[in-house]
Structures are given as C-alpha cells and as structure tokens.
Amino acid sequence: MRWSRYFINTLREVPADAEVISQRLMMRAGMIRKVAAGIYTYLPLGLRSIKKLELIVREEMNRAGSAELLMPAIQPAELWMESGRWQKYGKELLRIKDRHDRDFVFGPTHEEVITDTVRDTINSYRRLPINLYQIQTKFRDEVRPRFGLMRGREFIMKDAYSFHSSRESLDETYETMRAAYSAVFHRCSLDHVPVEADTGAIGGSASHEFMVLAQSGEDAVVSCPNCRYGANVEKATSKFFDDEVEPPASQAVAEVHTPGTQTIDDVGRFLGMPTSKLVKTLVFQADEGPVMVLVRGDREGNEVKIKNHLGTNRLDLLAGEGLFWATEFERQTGGPIGYCGPVGTKCARVLADHSLQGRSRWIVGGNKKDMHLDYAAPGRDFPEPEYGDFTTAIKGDPCVRCGTPLEIYRGIEVGHIFKLGTKYSDSMHCDFLDESGERKPMIMGCYGLGIGRTVAAAVEQSHDDDGIIWPMPIAPFEVVVTSIGKDESVLRTATEVYENLLAAGIDAFFDDRDERPGVKFKDADLIGFPLRIAVGAKSLAQGQIEWSWRKDRAKLLGPPADVVASVIEGVRAGRL
RNA sequence: CGGGGUGUAGCGCAGUCUGGUAGCGCACCUGCUUUGGGAGCAGGGGGUCGGAGGUUCGAAUCCUCUCGCCCCGACCA
C-alpha cells in the first residue's frame, strides 16, 4: 500500500480526552477515531492490527478444537428472560425494541444464544464435548467508558463456549483453552500472567483472568514471587492474622467513652491503639436486609467476597450522608454511625473476617453515641459471627500457598475463562442423555478474549516517547519503505524495493509522499512499523540503502538486494 | 445516579466576567525557496460559536430549558 493513496492522517496534537498511552498513540497514529463515548471507528491502519490478532486467535482456537460460528449481535429478550439475566444484568445490558414493540438486547455476551443453539442440536453424550467460538462486536453500556479500546462500550471480543457430559471433560477443555490463550498472548509478545478470578455476573465455579501487566491497568492483581500464585485482588486470599499475643478474654465487657470518634482512625488515636487492634464494622444492605461485616481495623472490606458469601444480588454499603440516612442507618442497625457494633445489633447476620477468629480482645462500637466496648467476646456478648475471607489482600500479606510476601501489580484483563457448570443448561434446559439413558444438564465452560483490548494492551506494553513499537505479528504493516527526496533514482529504487517485498509476501507500506524526511521519519516512528527501509540520494549514490528496527533504531546500510533479503528474514523471524 | 467541568473550523485552544464585524496554532489549498528527524516566506479556503426558547436596537458573550462530552465517586467484569 502506498501512503499517498491510503486513508490515514496522523495528528501532531493529542485529542484532549485521551487519557492513556495506547489511546493517545492510536488516535495520533490514525488507527482509531472516537465516534461517541466508548464507541470507535477502526480506521484502516487500526483495523489491520485487529484483523491480524483475530487471525492469530482463529488459528489457536481452531488448533484447540473449537469451531467458529457467528451468532447475531441482536438477541430476543425471551432468551434472557429464560436464563434470568433479563432481570439480573442491570443497565449495562442495552435493551432495544423493534417496530413491533418487541424486546431485544444488543448482546454483551452469548451464553443464552449458544445454549439455545446447542440444546436444539445435541441430545446425546456421544456428540459431546462440543466447543464453539465466534469473533464479534459486543455492546456493554458501561457507566463510564474510558481509555479508548481498553474499556469501550462497543468492542470486539472472541467468545467461546464448551459443552460437556462430565466435569473431567470440562477440566480437560478448560486446560486446552488456557494453553491456547497463553499461546495467543505469547505470539503477540505480551507479558501476561493468568490469575485466579471472581466469576461475577457470568457465574460458575472456577475462573482465570489473563492479565497483561501495565501501569494503566484497571485491575489489581496479587502475585507471589515464589510460587507463582496469582489472583485478582477481588478474589485473592492471603493468610494474615494477629501476630501479637493478647490478654485472655476473662475480662468482662467494658464500656469506653469515646466522644467524637466517627472513624476508625479517630478511635485508634483516641485510645492510643493501632487500628489493627480495633474491629471495623461495615453495614451493607443485601437482598435479605442489613448485614454486618466485621474486619480488622486496618483492613478494607471486599465487597465481591462478601457478595459471594451471602449469595446476594445487591450489596450496598450503608453510609450516612445526610439526616435522613443517619436516621435510617440507626433504625436499621440499632447503632448510630461511627458507633455501631455487633453487641445488640439489629442486623440479622453478622460476618467476620477470619483474621479476627480467635482474637481475644475485641474493641467494637457500642451501638450508642460516643461509646465503644472493650473486651467484647463473641459467643458471650454477641452471637458467634460467620467467619470467612472478607477483606482485600494487600502488598506484603503472606501467600496462602507458601507464605511469601505477596506483590501487587496493575493489569489489563485481556482474557477471562470460566467453568460455568450448569448455570445456563439448568435454567435453559440444555440437556443430554448419558450412557444409561438418563437426562442430565450439560456442563459448560466459557472463554472470552478482548480483541481490541489486547491490541491496546500491546501498545501499552510496547512504545516509547516517539510512538508505538509494534510486535511484528500484530503490526499493521511489517515494513515501511521511506523515499527521501524527489530524485528519480531514489523513487525508482524505493519502488523496486517495495515491490520486491510485496512479492515475497511481506506486508510492506510505501511512504511515497512528497514530504520532508523529518516528517516521514516522525510518522513512521509514531505508527510504529517494526522495520523501516530508507532510500535517500546520498547513500544511493554509493549504491546503498538503509534499514533499521524500530525497537533500537540502529541504522544498517547495504545494497538494495541485500537489504531486502535481510528485511525479509527479519520479518519472518518476527512473525512467530 | 451524586459532585465538578466543558462544548467556538478536522485537531489543540483564546474570546464569554464587562453584549457591538468570530480569532490564534496545527492540519488543508496555491506559489516560491527548502529537503536525512514534525522547514521558511507570501497568499488562500473552511464556522448555523452543541441545540431550543427568551432578554436586547444588537447575543459566542446575559437568562431559562435541553443535549453531548470529560473528570472524580458510586457501579460494573
């Protein structure tokens, strides 16, 4: 392709709303263009990278035994009502009506459609397992889309679904898919790590996320430098506990006057004790009503873990801004804000983080204004709480597996795989007959991979001050041939070089514009072609042209034929 | 949904307070010079100032409503 005939416009200035590097660079390089919040056009250059990644994904999916199909983006509401997600999914689900006033959704994911398809097609264990995938545009009406392709509302995703007659069969496919994902990201030269994850709205038992480590990542992951344990912080467990011996719990519970101490920090300061010795009380509104969660004073409650423990759809922290809420808070919990605690609470359920289990001295809110209780004892002064893991792991916590202090990194979630189990096959009656003729629900897995997000992640991970540095396999073009000046021999040689590369099956781009060299070089760096060949009058007079890698910019000279041969070799080696 | 901000040429912005011919830089077009890391000079084209209503002799500017977009939070995977 020749630049002079291509649809591309690089920007010297950065669009004001571009927040992260990948978004800035992709917009400046003329790869994407924002049309509405979280909705982008993939311009020709950007689409080439997208298509190249799709091809890699196809190859790996096909190799893993998954068969490609394409489901509709628009789905009838009935299927979502059947699975129960019409009610459960919330406002992220874009609901639309057709001219007959019938309800539809623009698919954010396709469990319903695929389950419907398979249940009508497969009835026997003999036909299982089945693994299907598609690459398609999805829509999730995110509250706050941002970061360009990293968190769009409309986005391209590869989603795969597998159906099994047994857990073992699912486990096997899950492993195959996990390997396939690693292969995809490896081929894109992405530094990635699979981590344990929460299953969220999709549901199911086990789940892993594939994280590309990057400063701009929206997720925090914990990672054990010793045993490679990795997990999303929403899920990550650690085994911190009280490390100081406490006096025995023989003391009777005692009221402590603590005036004007609304926060846990206030209480700690007032009593002259570290917050880790105090008990922090959180109250959430759950499906079943107010629920109290006790955590160590220096820790944060983890809503995802609490939600999973309770099995509730709704979980809102009861907070007391304003008079109405303060009154309401006290009415529901039996204690004023800042002083609420488990002793005599109105909350039906009381949960406590396992780090509190066995603690002998509990300092808790007294459910009276300006009053805390010291030496409160579970089982004596208040009912034994339900213990569990309800806090978020932090840097330095001991690893659950080996005890090594954990590290925390930021990551971009580029893939997410789930063992769904029978969540959808139960509700939607996707059954099969087993060897003994018994009807059973199929066991399912599902596997998502964000195409646009992965491309953006590659840019986040590979760039410098001048622009993108594409990994060869997803570069929009592998080589740019840059002609310098209008000299006829320069143009002739550059054209020859370009055509020879094309003939060899190389994705070459010819910057044939009548522009100054500086402009062409800056643009080439910005777009990030892995290789560049420059043909200029001075060196051509010596029978030489120049080539260089974008990564290190070291310039190499040679006769045109040799340079072409070297570049072809370089491209092939970089393709993986 | 709550709080804050913003909307003026394809992009980045000034002008708004204090009403009076709509500006600057980049990009674009023409000419001359220039030509190995985003050139110089000269000339030029491009705007319903987000939209609707109002006040006024006169509105980008003041008032009301509305829409979009951005940021923080909540939310979501």
The 3-state DSSP class for residue A465 equals: coil
- Minimum CA–C1' distance nucleotide for A487: B35
Q: Closest CA to B2 C1' — which residue?
A: A321
Q: Stretch A524-537: mean pLDDT, rounded?
A: 97
- Minimum CA–C1' distance nucleotide for A198: B77
For residue A450, list its beta bridge partners: A157
Q: What per-residue confidence (pLDDT) applies to A458?
A: 95
Q: Stretch A349-365: mean pLDDT, rounded?
A: 84
CA–C1' distance A470–B50 (Å)?
38
Would you say residue A322 has pLDDT above 60? no
* pLDDT band with cut points at 50, 70 and 90 for residue A501: very high
Q: What per-residue confidence (pLDDT) applies to A238?
A: 75
Residue A464: HSE in the Cβ half-sphere, 13 Å Cα cutoff: 12
CB-based contact A187:A455 (threshold 8 Å): no
CA–C1' distance A84–B43 (Å)?
68
Q: What angle (nearest 5°) sits at the alpha carbon of residue A426, between those of residues A125 and A199?
A: 105
CA–C1' distance A16–B23 (Å)?
20
* pLDDT band with cut points at 50, 70 and 90 for residue A200: low
Question: Who contacts A226 (Cβ-Cβ below 8 Å, separation ≥6)?
Answer: A399, A402, A404
CA–C1' distance A34–B16 (Å)?
28
ipTM: 0.90
CA–C1' distance A282–B20 (Å)?
62
Average per-residue pLDDT in chain A? 89
CA–C1' distance A98–B53 (Å)?
33
Would you say residue A113 has pLDDT above 90? yes
Q: Mean pLDDT check: name the lowest of A157-171, A266-280, A306-320, A481-495.
A: A306-320
Q: What per-residue confidence (pLDDT) applies to A348?
A: 78
User: What whole-number distance in Å separates Cα of residue A323 and Cα of residue A340?
Assistant: 17
- Minimum CA–C1' distance nucleotide for A540: B36
The token pair at A84 is 């129960």
User: What whole-number distance in Å separates Cα of residue A241 and Cα of residue A339?
Assistant: 24
CA–C1' distance A541–B51 (Å)?
62
> How many C-beta atoms lie closer than 10 Å to residue A537's C-beta?
15
Q: What is the largest CA-CA distance in chain A?
A: 98
Q: What is the pTM of this model?
A: 0.88
* pLDDT band with cut points at 50, 70 and 90 for residue A3: very high
Which nucleotides of strand B are protein-proximal, with an atom < 7 A from a CB?
1, 11-13, 25-27, 34-39, 68-77
Using only C-alpha atoms, chain A has a radius of gyration, in whole angstroms, of 29
Q: Mean pLDDT check: name the lowest of A29-38, A156-165, A308-317.
A: A308-317
Q: What per-residue confidence (pLDDT) applies to A245?
A: 53
- Minimum CA–C1' distance nucleotide for A11: B11
Range with the largest mean pLDDT of A52-61, A74-83, A190-199, A243-252: A52-61
> How many C-beta atoms lie closer than 10 Å to residue A457's C-beta?
30
Would you say residue A263 has pLDDT above 80? no
A390-430 pLDDT, tens digit per residue, is 888 888 888 888 888 888 888 899 999 999 999 899 999 99
- Minimum CA–C1' distance nucleotide for A321: B2
* pLDDT band with cut points at 50, 70 and 90 for residue A255: confident
User: What whole-number distance in Å separates Cα of residue A556 and Cα of residue A572?
Assistant: 18
CA–C1' distance A39–B21 (Å)?
40
Percent share of chain A, pLDDT over 90: 53
Q: Stretch A366-372: mean pLDDT, rounded?
A: 84
Question: Who contacts A329 (Cβ-Cβ below 8 Å, separation ≥6)?
Answer: A283, A318, A319, A320, A336, A337, A340
Position of tokens 């299953």?
A: A199
User: What whole-number distance in Å separates Cα of residue A429 and Cα of residue A426?
Assistant: 5
- Minimum CA–C1' distance nucleotide for A517: B36
